[in-house]
Structure 1
Amino acid sequence: MISSRREIVEEPVRAISEDVVGVAVGKDVKECLSVLRYALKSSHGKKICLLHVHVPAQMIPLMGTKFPANSLQKEEVRAYHEFEKQNLRRIMNEYILYCLQEGVQAERLCAEAESIEKGIVDMISLHGIKKLVMGAAVDKCYSRRMVDLKSKKAFYVRSQALASCHIEFICKGNLICTREGRTDGAQVEAAGTSPQTSPDAEALEISHCRSQSLPLEQVNSREVGSPSSDLRFRGRSLLVDHFRESIIDPSPSPNIMNGVRTARSLDVNETFDKLSLLERRSPYERSDNSLRSPRGVIDMAPSPLSRVELCENGLEQDGKTSDYLYNQYERVMMEATNARRDAFLEAIARRKSEKEAVNALCKVKAAEGLHAEELKQRKEVEQELAREKAKLESIKKQLNEEMEEVRIAQDQKASLERELLESDLTVKELEQRILSAVELLQSYKREREELRIQRDSALKEAEELRKNQLAGTILPQFFTEFPFREIEEATRNFNPSLKIGEGGYGSIYKGFLRHTMVAIKILHSDSSQGPSEFQQEVNVLSKMRHPNLVTLIGACPEAWVLVYEYLCNGSLEDKLSCKNNTPPLPWQARIRIATELCSAIMFLHSSKPHSIIHGDLKPANVLLDANFVCKLGDFGICRLLSRDETPNDNETLVWRTDNPKGTFPYMDPDYLSSGELTTKSDVYSFGIILLRLLTGRSAIGISKEVQYAVGNGKLKSILDPLAGDWPFVQAEQLARLALRCCDMNRKSRPDLITDVWRVLGPMRASCGGLLSIQLGSSEHLQPPPYFICPIFQEVMLDPHVAADGFTYEAEAARGWLDSGHDTSPMTNLRLEHRNLVPNRALRSAIQEWLQRN
């Protein structure tokens, strides 16, 4: 149909037999199961047909908000509607599966409409549904005293659905009310047995005729000019008049009803044959035997009703009145068609105007961006010009000073010459003075020449420094530089098959450079941050060495290329997400990685004379080598703060900016709001990484989830099961430590050296030896079974004997007792007491075995 209702046709449209029970279901499977369950129980072996009306979304979610569908591109709207259809198929498959589990055959029937209730009524009419089961209200509204409908949709369906459809309204599996269906056979029998039809029966008959039509061939086979035909034609005028009034005003006309009550019986089939003949000339004629009115589509399918008793006395109207009414009917229909076409064209024009307005706004925003960029470039040029003018003024000032010195020397020479002329007696003295003046003049000239040479050399050095700063080629002398030709050979001209990573900074390739496997990062040439990030990483990594920092091998300044050591196990992010089906990290390895990362951050914060703030700590920047030793990398946005900037070492170093950079879930909220970057900002990011190591979940909102779990004693429910069985005591310690690091107030966050390392250090020591034992593959490294803790399933480091006679790791036994258990973990018998006795003999044997291996 050409309207706002669109059918999602999964099966050919056909009438549903009376052996099929229609069940109206919605998107909430759990809410609609009570209706479906009732229908399955009351179907008595009949086939189930699931009816669902889909209302397409008019507000499309995009980038965290919702936009009107007519303001977006067609491809975006089509993609979201396709997503809705896929979700609809999944929901209907759940209903079908439930029916199959109950042993009942079911089929589905879906349609699109502007509203759910109108779609249900249209589907009842279109498919001839004889019995329908639907909800009377949501289940939470049910009460024992509920005797009527509480849903607007149910009210609408009960009042607008075909009278032949039997509808049962259900709420929480209980039958609330029933609308009995009236069959055509019953109407025919009532019309034949009562010559004087009651007002209610006549209203029902005309309402039923309003939705029926007869074939045009019956009109052609009758003689219109006969007396009976004339009488029938007047009856038709009354029905057409009533039909037009029912289109304009759905309430029945009293005049027509009184005329029908006093008329003799006429053949309703012949009357509607003539009405169908009139409709053939109407612009509202439809190929599917339905009549479209301003209120909707009126079905004109043939009816089994044969005759309606009409009285002859009410049909005494002349032919002119009938023709006038017919002409008025055609005019009204034509005006409705024109109005609907004008409204459609106006809607198209409005949508086109809206689209043009959106495009104009986009162009304005682009122009504003270009204008801002031009202003920025102009400001930079003006600043450079101001610096050059300042240099020129300095040179002019120096030249004036030298010229003044020359002028003074000339004045002295003139005075000496005058003295020589005035006194011959003092010739020798004057000659000596002249000689001294000449020597002074020469010295002045030599000094001036030296100053000029120094000035020229200084200008040359300044120019070279400026060029080097613009090209970003200032590197330490001990740093290795590679020509770009070797970089191309190592990466086979940057072959895409060798690319191992890509981000906002650029791309990373694996290469073989000078007989060494390396990782080569080339920065984007069109990025304004490329030179600064390149120089930042060179300045930091070329001057520092630490076991847990990525080693920078060299660089290619001409192409902004950095060469690192190659780490074969990728990033910590890849391991947490099990990229390429790699095995997950055990909890021991995660504790070791957290300890090594903490060591690297402490090294950066305590470096002298400048403390280094990484500023972008996240699992993607933590790389793992062949032995799963972590190495911190990507120092492109790190900041160097001089310790001389603060009066004492206890005061926090702060770097301020108006444009915070980093990865949002790991960025310090205080840094985002105030623009102040401190060492506590790295502590916050480290806390988020600890929570990800514990849970394996996404970083967004992870602190609130863990805070809730710890506060409600449900920490075990959110621990990452892929890491193995976490020891409860250690897991709880890590969780509380991470939550302290993630505190919104940076002053409340712990210090890495005095607080965090005090927890991670012993924890790393307790699982370090065990991890090396588990990674060994030789048979002689396998510990004896009595060295293994029954709870942790690990080699015990501090064995203790419990009341049941078994030896456990002290931490495991205390965790078992503190979690509320009063029975033995081995025998499930009640423990006589909660005391633990150290097993020193077994501890000595374990220590000797560990030292030997």
Structure 2
Amino acid sequence: MAPHFSSDENVPGHTTAVAIDKDKNSPQAVRWAVEHLVVSNPFVTLIHVKHKNQGDNESDYDVNQLFIPFRGYCARKGIQLEEVILEDADVCKALLDYVHKNLINNLVIGAATRNSLSSYLNYRKSKNDIPAILIRSAPEFCSVYVISKGKILTMRTAQRPVSNTAAPPKMSSGMPPHIPSDQLEDERGRRQVVRGESRNGTDRQSVDNPPKLPMRDRDRRKSLPANLSGDMDAAMRAAAAQPSSSQDTLAIDTDFLNKIPHGSIDLNDQNLDFSMVSATPTGQLPQNTRDIEAEMRRLKLELKQTMDLYSTACKEALTAKRKAEELHQWKMEEARKFEEAKQAGEAALAMAEKEKAKCKAAMEAAEAARKLAEMEAHRRRQAELKAKKEADEKTRALSVLAKNDVRYRKYTIEEIEEATENFVASNKIGEGGYGPVFKGKLDHTPVAIKVLRPDAAQGKKQFQQEVEVLCCMRHPNMVLLLGACPEYGCLVYEYMFNGSLEDRLFRKGNTPPLSWRKRFNIAAEIATGLLFLHQAKPEPLVHRDLKPANILLDRNYVSKIADVGLARLVPPSVADSVTQYHMTSAAGTFCYIDPEYQQTGMLTTKSDIYSLGIMLLQIITAKPPMGIAHHVGRAIEKGTLLDVLDPAVPNWPLEEALAFARLALKCVELRKKDRPDLGTVIVPELNRLRDFGMSSDSRGRSNNCR
């Protein structure tokens, strides 16, 4: 065991000991003792009781490791530290023996936890509470504090100062020592004793005092202000009973006497002094006076501790009241929210009922529409059965080629309806002479679906043959035909995100204007795609309806010709009626038709050259097709071509724009033989202008970089 103070040494005036163990409350107990008890005497003793008969089931541990965290903490606080290790089978007995032998004023211990001092091996079976035993059995001169989470959980203050203890008695049963009877007066009339011990070990009671209460109840009663003033009255009456003389005259603080008749003491008076002042020197005071002074000091300490406890209780009561008010407000707020949620739920149920009624009406309307669609489909199937008999020599030859080889994707009408959401009007993106165009999504890919008019669809067999041919025709400047639904005359094309050339020239939706470089590039691409159609085998394919509305632009503004081969998918009579429909109902479309074709009815590849020329003039002017050739020709003659060019495009290259306009005017000659050749004249010139735009663009970027 480490060295410790003995009874014959000079004991410090105010000694504090802290019992530590491996639990989490031990550091909190040490910290609390340093902050509240170690003030006048910067000295603290750390005690650890090691069980003498530790079992094999308990894991061994290094006891010295327990003191390492506290050494640094006490060194930083300027506290002198003593480390004591006790070995005993009884933890409480070891601590009480040490307190008696060393006259410890304050004993601090952490609250009991699972791994704490109170759960030691020998106490696990008996389930004793070590803090409770120490509070019950500690000497009367020692105050015991039980700390939990940095606060006092339980405490018991000293009943008398350590100076009244003559010698530490021998501990045998763990019970606290009592005040020796030779220090008390035998006369009951001269002094009233609250606690005492006779020579035969029985308690002696005063006539005016009630029987002795248990320790905790007695401390609680003594801590009340009324009981404190009663004890002080008894002490003063005992002092008054002494013989008075000129040497033994006792003077009492007048402030204290003024407070006694009211039956209470002002706990907030910090200048309250309970000491008795004698007119004679202290060394000449009788034994009774010294006892009264010691009792006064004890009462003052208890009064201060009671005042602290009362202040803490008041604060806790205010905190509890505030929390109760907050809880009440929270309950009121929750009730209000619950009521609001209830009302919102009822409103939601009412809305759901309305939506249910609307859904029922919509389902009934959809059922009626489905029946109408079935009737229409039946009529279409009857028409297709009648048209099945029509065939020509070319389609019969192609049918032999594609008899056992389907070269395009066939879609069912259910897939088409699902892709277009039953051909809802919001998905409609265009309307042509052959039928409406809807936007949809098939196989997770955006597509454009054209639905041919019922009178434009011919025999199912011939329709399949023509679609197979068109699906095989692939070119970078032609819109790709992905598949079809032959039963209902639906064509599935790839979707072009930037719409038609007509929309971009006239800036539909307030889109930015196309630059002159992009316009030269688009013109060259259109001519290249048209040349591919005219060179098709076994015979050239005439577009018949070439115009800006049928030129589509993808994400990168690459132009592609749309509606290729639609004239081959319908009978000639229907195709002619579609052309007549354009001629009579849409003046813009009428302006793209070859005048010679209108007079003679002879359709050749030169007819597409005329439509191309009108479209080229629109590309640089962004003007309607009506009379555009006349206006551009007059501007070239007057040298004012810049006035007719699209004003939204800055920095037109005049020489190249003039060459572009002259080429377009040659394409719109009234006679076919006067129009230039597409492969030898038009395409090379447009490619030259496109290359010029690309080279100037690269030079502009390099100049900007410099």
Taking structure 2 as the reference length, the TM-score comes to 0.40
- Decide which structure has the larger Cα Rg and report it: 2
